[in-house]
């Protein structure tokens, strides 16, 4: 296993552009996560609530956990007490429910809006127009227990690098547009989460400041049924 070497190499690459490394630990064991943790990695991401809950209980409490999968409202109460960032907010209803559950826990939960930039039909997320109108809605402005801190997007899984560049650029342009808006209590733009193992170099060229990397750190995942 070369987990700590992989992390060191990635951190070296990310430092000059000041991008944050999120280690995507889904499907990997606590032992592997601990190896990454001991090498100084403190931010990990999961995409299943149940798996995250089990790992969070067993692993060091100063790990910052991000959620990156499609999230069902009825599972929120399991992660709201400890989650650091929900990167995958993909509907107004979910944001509303996060706000509600966070209030019960006396927390303000940082969230990214997941924006749909890929060609594929299967990926969750807002269109740019939907995200824009959410951020401008009275309902959002009245939410006290969530803070939108940025955007997350996934490019199409394709060998066409030009297309990947274009999709990431679309999200970066929207991010810059939002950056013109005034900061408020629940809108503090700081994170543009784009790029995974296969496309993070392109994402960085297009202005990403947070990459979510799994297989390049931990190796191939065991496929879920
Ligand atoms: C699994 C996953 C990743 C990491 O994928 P790798 O190809 O293993 O780097 C990044 N982002 C999201 C949303 C994921 O579900």
Q: How far apart are the first and last CA of the chain?
A: 25
pLDDT at site 123: 65
- Residue identified by tokens 């400041």 is 209
pLDDT at site 63: 98
Residue 139 CA to ligand 1 centre (angstroms): 31
Mean pLDDT score across all residues of the chain: 96
Report the 10 Å Cβ neighbour count for 71: 25
pLDDT band at 120 (very low <50, low <70, confident <90, very high): confident
What are the structure tokens assigned to 215, written together?
């297989």
pLDDT tens-place string over residues 193-214: 999 999 999 999 999 999 999 9
Residue 141 CA to ligand 1 centre (angstroms): 31
Residue ranges of E strands in 4-42: 20-24
pLDDT at site 73: 97
C-alpha count within 13 angstroms, C-beta hemisphere, residue 27: 12
pLDDT band at 136 (very low <50, low <70, confident <90, very high): very high
Of 24, 152, 208, 221, the one to substitute when testing ligand 1's pocket (max ligand atoms within 8 A of C-beta) is 24
- Enumerate the β-bridge partners of residue 66: 45, 85
* Its pTM surpasses 0.85: yes
Whether the CB-CB separation of 22 and 43 falls below 8 Å is answered with yes
Instruction: Give ligand 1 pocket residues (Cβ under 6 A).
Output: 24, 26, 47, 68, 154, 196-198, 212-216
pLDDT tens-place string over residues 38-55: 999 999 999 999 999 999
Residue nearest to atom 7 of ligand 1 (CA): 197
Residue 155 CA to ligand 1 centre (angstroms): 11
């Amino acid at each position: 296993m070369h987990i700590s070497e992989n992390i060191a190499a990635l951190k070296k690459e990310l430092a000059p552009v000041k991008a944050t490394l999120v280690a995507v630990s889904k499907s990997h064991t606590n032992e592997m996560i601990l190896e990454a943790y001991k090498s100084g990695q403190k931010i990990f991401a999961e995409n299943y609530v149940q798996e995250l809950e089990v790992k969070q209980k067993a692993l060091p409490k100063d790990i910052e956990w991000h959620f990156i999968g499609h999230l069902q409202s009825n599972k929120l109460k399991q992660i709201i007490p400890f989650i650091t960032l929900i990167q995958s907010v993909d509907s107004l209803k979910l944001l509303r429910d996060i706000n509600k559950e966070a209030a019960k826990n006396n927390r303000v939960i940082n969230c990214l809006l997941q924006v749909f930039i890929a060609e594929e039909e299967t990926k969750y997320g807002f269109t740019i127009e939907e995200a824009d109108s959410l951020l401008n809605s009275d309902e959002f402005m009245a939410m006290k227990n969530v803070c939108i801190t940025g955007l997350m997007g996934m490019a199409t899984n394709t060998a066409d690098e030009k297309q990947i560049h274009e999709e990431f650029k679309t999200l970066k342009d929207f991010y810059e547009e939002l950056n013109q808006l005034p900061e408020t209590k629940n809108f503090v733009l700081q994170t543009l989460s784009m790029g995974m193992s296969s496309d993070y170099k392109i994402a960085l060229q297009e202005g990403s400041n947070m990459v979510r990397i799994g297989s390049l750190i931990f190796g191939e995942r065991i496929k879920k049924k």
